[in-house]
Amino acid sequence: MNNEHIIDEKKQGQSLHTEGKKSNTKKLFIESYGCQMNLNDSEIVAAIMEENGYNTTNLLEEADLVLVNTCAIREKAEQTVRKRLEKYNAIKKRINPTMKVGVLGCMAERLKEKFLEEEKIVDLVVGPDAYRDLPNLMTEVEAGRDAINVLLSRDETYADVSPVRLNSNGVSAFVSITRGCDNMCTFCVVPFTRGRERSRNPESIVSEIQELWDKGYKEVTLLGQNVDSYLWYGGGLKKDYKNATEAQKQNAVDFAMLLDKVAQQFPIMRFRFSTSNPQDMHLDVLHVMAKYKNICKYIHLPVQAGSTSMLKRMNRQHTREEYIALIDNIRKIIPECAISHDIIAGFCGETEEEHKETLSLMEYVKYDFGFMFAYSNRPGTPAAKRMEDDVPMDIKKRRLTEIINLQQVHGLYRMEQFVGKTVEVLIEGDSKKSAKHWKGRNSQNAVVIFEKTGNEAIGDFVDVKIDTCTSATLIGNRV
């Protein structure tokens, strides 16, 4: 899931906080790691807890309940969470003995009762589909019992929960449209931790967007592990669509239809979406993107590797050539579209030839942005069961560095194409470096910094002429 996919590294693990209800007396400290889906899930959890007596706080020491929304995608993410749990343990012992601690998200699902047995600090373990059960589980915890619910669901989409927007800039928000993943890429733990894919009722998506619009939000990112696979036919798993009735099939809503509907209904709202999977991204989605100015011209299109042989070992459902054909279609239908990738270096059996094919694919696409990782073996995945994690760490690291360095070159190349041009920017807030400058993003998701004139505010769309750039930022002035 990501930058649209992966939360800004600096935001990882930040406490998430908002005002809350006056009548609530208990305090919840909630922290989120991993993808944007997790961040949005934390907002759903905060909404459920707000209805049950808890307001959020950013002071760990005063919390009655600490919830850590965890990520299991790579070993490093898990290690970070374990360190945080040690910290909570220390605070619990020294300062706040009645504080309760819960683990949410993908690690909860992966490690289940191991958390309660081995890591004594944890009182509560709740998987991604069981957040509605949190109030009941808290009753158990308050009675001095350990509590766990890691059941995965066939239909849970939290469609009726209105998320509490945590640490929001009041301008952009996430709206989940699908949950789970059916793709079974051999390296990935997500299908096991988040279960089978299901889509959310489009009416509930539209009403959540309406609520955001009424509150003054200007940008929505539609979220899912595989948004292009979105399919609403009255509820149920995507894989059961084949058993749907004729009437259900006739009234079904796919991603292109959903995108068209929201873009048309909210013409001043900007729409983004993430993540796209190459095999599910069809031309009709590209045509809808081209049709509406308010759909951002940016596609996060993970490829993971550049050779057909490696894609096959990864159980990706397309070849190198099919991916290139999709890129060509994007360039043809939406010439100004930015494209980003996820790439894994050093997956099982990766040869130097295969690595070179990854670099040559990058050369072909010249991605605007990229998210790059060394392969991390995840217990329970098909790769962990059937393949050998046989690329030595020094080679993985060297290949990763080559990929990162090349991405840097391409990022700069893409940014340079904007110099001298005027772009529309949605203002998100002050620039980190100077209160005299605004920070926002253009349609292509590039960060734009420009001087304040005194005539604009957060949430405004303004035209900025780009004077110069770095490999990650455009710098300019209002026209």
Which parts of this chain interact with ligand 5AD (CB under 6 A)? 1, 5, 73-74, 187-188, 302, 304, 342, 344, 373, 375-376, 378
CB of 465 to ligand SF4, least distance (A): 38
Q: Does 229 bind ligand SF4 (CB under 6 A)?
A: no
For strands 461-469 and 422-430, give the pairing. Answer: antiparallel
Interaction of residue 128 with ligand SF4, rule CB under 6 A: no
Which of ligand 5AD, ligand SF4, none does residue 270 bind to, with CB < 5 to 8 Å depending on kind? Answer: none
- Which positions from 64 to 103 touch ligand SF4 by CB under 6 A, shown as an x/- string? ----------------------------------------
For residue 98, give the 3-state DSSP assignment: coil
Alpha carbon distance 227, 304 (integer Å): 17
Among ligand SF4, ligand 5AD, none, what does residue 376 contact (CB within 5–8 Å per kind)?
ligand 5AD
Half-sphere exposure of 43 (CA within 13 A, CB side): 18
Beta-ladder partners of 30? 16, 67
Number of residues that bind ligand SF4 (CB under 6 A): 10
Asked if residue 183 binds ligand SF4 (CB under 6 A), the reply is yes
User: Is residue 204 close enough to count as binding ligand SF4 by CB under 6 A?
Assistant: no
Q: Which does 37 bind (CB under 5 to 8 A by kind): ligand SF4, ligand 5AD, none?
A: none
190 binds ligand SF4 (CB under 6 A): yes
In the list ligand 5AD, ligand SF4, none, the entry touching 74 (Cβ below 5 to 8 angstroms by class) is ligand 5AD
Token pair, residue 311, equals 């894609």
CB-side neighbour CA atoms (13 Å) of 410: 22
Distance in Å, CB of 342 to ligand SF4, minimum: 8
Under rule CB under 6 A, residue 348 binds ligand SF4: no
Cα separation of 410 and 166, whole Å?
34
Query: What does the alpha-carbon distance between residue 35 and residue 8 come to, in Å, rounded to a whole number?
Result: 9
Nearer residue to ligand 5AD within complex by CB, 155 or 390: 390
Q: Which does 476 bind (CB under 5 to 8 A by kind): ligand 5AD, ligand SF4, none?
A: none
Which lies closer to ligand SF4 via its Cβ, residue 260 or residue 350? 350
With CB under 6 A as the contact rule, the residue among 49, 63, 134, 181 that binds ligand SF4 is: 181
Nearer to ligand 5AD, 127 or 302 (CB): 302
- Taking CB under 6 A as the rule, does residue 466 contact ligand SF4? no
16 vs 106, beta carbon nearer ligand 5AD? 106
Q: Measured from the CB atom, is 348 or 462 closer to ligand SF4?
A: 348
Element spanning 422, H or E: strand 422-430
Dihedral sign (CA 177, 380, 154, 13): negative
From candidates 42, 178, 193, 226, binder to ligand SF4 by CB under 6 A: 226
Choose, by CB under 6 A, the member of 34, 102, 105, 191 that binds ligand SF4: 191
Helix (H) or strand (E) holding 274: strand 270-274
How close are the terminal C-alpha atoms of the chain, in Å?
36
What is the per-residue DSSP string for 135-176? HHHHHHHHTT--EEE----SS---TT------S--SSEEEEE
Q: Which does 225 bind (CB under 5 to 8 A by kind): ligand 5AD, ligand SF4, none?
A: ligand SF4
- Residue 344 interface partner, choices ligand SF4, ligand 5AD, none, CB cut-off 5-8 Å depending on type: ligand 5AD
Buried-exposed string 152-175: b where 16+ CB fall within 10 A, e elsewhere = bbeebbbbebebbbbbbeebbbbb
The distance of closest approach from Cβ of residue 182 to ligand 5AD in the complex, given in angstroms and rounded to an integer, is: 15
Angle between helices 255-265 and 283-291 (to 10 degrees): 10
Q: Which is nearer to ligand 5AD, 13 or 102 (CB)?
A: 13
Rg for the chain, CA atoms, rounded: 22
CB-count exposure of residue 34 (10 Å: 0-12, 13-18, 19+): buried
Q: Are 175 and 221 in contact (CB under 8 A)?
A: yes
Write out the residues near ligand SF4 by the rule CB under 6 A.
181, 183-185, 188, 190-191, 225-226, 277
